[in-house]
Structure 1
C-alpha cells in the first residue's frame, strides 16, 4: 500500500514538473490570441454578430452535408448485395444513384456549384 502511495506521489510530481517546463518553454504572447480564437467564415470574432452573411457559404455547407450523408449511404451497398437478390439490389441502388444524380443536376442548373459570383 505504501509503495502504491509513493508511486502515485512520484507520478504527480513528475507530471507537475513536466507541466511547469511546458509552460515556461511555450512561446505564448498576446499576438497568439487571434490564432486561438474560433474561425467563423472569415468574420472578425470581435465585431458585431449582426453583419451580413454570404448565402454562398451556407449553400456550400449544405451541399457538403448532403454529399457526406450520400457517401455514408452508398458505402454499405456492396455489403447489401451479398445478402439480397441481384435484381432487388440493382433496382434499389440504381434508384438511389438516379436520385443523387438528379439532385446534382438540379444544383448544377441552379448554379449552386459555382465558386465565383
Structure 2
C-alpha cells in the first residue's frame, strides 16, 4: 500500500513538473498579428473572414438532433410490444408521445419551426 501511494505521488509530481516546464519554455505568442489574420495566398484579405453565425440555423440543427434521438428511442418501443404487458406498453408509449407532442407544441409557439425569416 505504501509503495502504491509513493508511486502515485511521484507520478503526479513528475507530470506537474513536465507541464510547468512546457508552459514556461514554450514560445507561443497569443498577440501575433500574423496568427490573427486569415491566410489568402500571401495577400491581404479583401473582406472580413469571419461570417456572422446564424442562430436560427443552429436552433434548427438542435431541434433535428433532438428528434433524431427521439426516433432512436421510439424504435425499441416497437420491439417491446411483443415482450411486455399491453397496458404497461400503452401507458409508456402514451407518456412518451405526449412528451414529444408537448415539445413540438412549445417549439411551434416559440416560432422555432419557421425556416425562413
| TM-score, reference length from structure 2 | 0.57
- Secondary structure in structure 2 of the residue aligned to 1:48: coil
Q: How far 1:48 moved relative to its partner?
A: 2.7
Counterpart mapping for 1:32-43 below 5 A: none
Query: In 2, Cα distance between the equivalents of 1:72 and 1:103?
Result: 16
What's the counterpart of residue 93 of structure 1?
Answer: 93
**For 2:102, what is the secondary structure of its paired residue?**
helix
CA distance in 1, matches of 2:54, 2:79: 41
CA distance in 2, matches of 1:103, 1:78: 21
- 1:111 correspondence with 2:102: no
Q: What SS does the aligned partner of 2:81 have?
A: helix
* Unmatched segments (≥5 aa) in structure 1: 1-46
State TM-score, norm by structure 1. 0.57
- Offset from partner CA, 1:20-45 (integer Å, 9 cap, x none): xxxxxxxxxxxxxxxxxxxxxxxxxx
Aligned-pair CA distance for 1:76: 1.4
What secondary structure does 1:77 align onto?
A: helix
| Aligned-partner Cα distance in 2 for 1:48–1:64 | 28
* Alpha-carbon displacement from aligned partner over 1:47-70 (angstroms, at most 9, x marks no partner): 634x32111110110011011001
Instruction: Report the equivalent of 1:20.
Output: none
Q: Shift in Å at residue 89 of structure 1?
A: 0.4
Hey, what's the Cα distance between the residues in 1 that align with 2:53 and 2:78? 41
Alpha-carbon separation, structure 1, partners of 2:72 and 2:116: 29
